[in-house]
Amino acid sequence: MAKLTVGILYGGQSTEHEVSMRSAESVLNALDKDKYNVKLIHISKQGEWLLSHQSEEIKSLEAGAEADGLSVIPAKQLSSVDGPQSFDVILPILHGTAGEDGSVQGLLEMADIPYVGCNVRSSAVCMDKDMTKKLLKLEGIKVADWVLFRHNEKDSVDYETVKEKLGLPMFVKPVNQGSSVGVSKVTDEKSFYDAVDLAFDFDTKVMVESAVEGREIEVSVLGNADPIASVPGEIVSNTDFYSYESKYIDESGAALEIPANLDEATGDSIRQTALDAFKILDCEGMARVDVFLTGKGEIIVNEINTLPGFTSISMYPKLLEASGVEYPELLDRLIELSLERHNLNGQLKTDIM
């Protein structure tokens, strides 16, 4: 069987550029080189797409000796100075804005290249925490109470009004960011306004969310029309909350318990909630669903991450490994799912004649 040419797309113009490079390194090491020809595409922090001259190392590239500039040509795949570049599938190992939010997915759709992960629509919706909450709430999925502020409303944000609605403590978040970037826990008026200012540094929409007292449980979902849910895992944070530093910098910031210590009925309910959320938001390929389990047994969805961390020790692959899907097999299945979707979409009519 002929090898597939797989492009690993990494880096990007987001606050999670370095996280993306770590994930891409793990993916490169795990891909079976007997099955795949690998090409590396680095998106610089300035947004330049660069096709590496080699495929053995994930690193920041510069045009010239190390890489060629790469451009997207609608309906003609990708092109470099050497001409058209053929890819059977792209693995967009990008996190955050301009990568996880549907923008890159849209470019790949225009170039007619199969890609791993959620489609344009679900990527965009899941990146927007406000839209995610609205859709889940509409379908009867429990979410934490929240209020939304747009950039033109910044000067009218009132601490007392928000506190009366949500209580203390509260969390202030940029709506379109990942990895807890720009997120603050607030307990008083000064920290509230500082947090609002910080969040608006990262997005034009900011949400304030009521704090939920509960265990932080995560589930990995894999599949298209008939997805499967992994065993649940638990984040045990040793800091005030599961911040960016806890995830990526402070090695003692949090512990992962896989599987989570749950009774069978509760675990099944959490897994079903994850599957329901995945389907409601029209996800495909993969997503990690994060929930809170309260002391009363309520399951409250926190967020859905359509391009979760993908290092060998990240929660998404670790949960599926604990469910019997090893890392290399996971990549095989994600590639198969992307080709399945692309083939299905290719059968749709584009005219009425």
pLDDT digit string, tens, across residues 335-353: 999 999 999 999 988 888 7
**Annotated domain spans of the chain:** 4-115, 125-129+134-141+213-343, 145-210
Task: Name which CATH class applies to 125-129+134-141+213-343.
Answer: alpha beta
SS3 187: coil
Tell me: the pLDDT tens digits for 1-27? 689 999 999 999 888 899 899 999 999
d(CA 48, CA 50): 6
| Residue 250: predicted pLDDT | 44
Nearest CA to 92 out of 75, 114, 60, 111 is that of 114
d(CA 129, CA 120): 16
Mean model confidence pLDDT for the chain: 92
Tell me: the pLDDT tens digits for 115-166? 999 999 999 999 999 999 999 999 999 999 999 999 999 999 999 999 999 9
d(CA 70, CA 297): 51
pTM to 2 decimal places: 0.93
Report residue 249's pLDDT band, with 50, 70 and 90 as the boundaries.
very low
**Residue 346, amino acid:** G
d(CA 337, CA 202): 33
The CATH number of the structural domain formed by 4-115 is 3.40.50.20
| Res 62 pLDDT > 90 | no
| Residue 90: predicted pLDDT | 97
Q: Tell me how far apart the terminal alpha carbons of the chain are, to the nearest angstrom.
A: 37
- Please confirm whether the linkage preceding 328 is cis (ω < 30° from 0): no
Per the listing, tokens 């304030």 go with 208
| Residue 81: predicted pLDDT | 84
Q: Assess if CATH 2.130.10.10 describes domain 145-210.
A: no
Six-digit token string for 244 = 């960016």
d(CA 127, CA 145): 18
d(CA 96, CA 315): 17
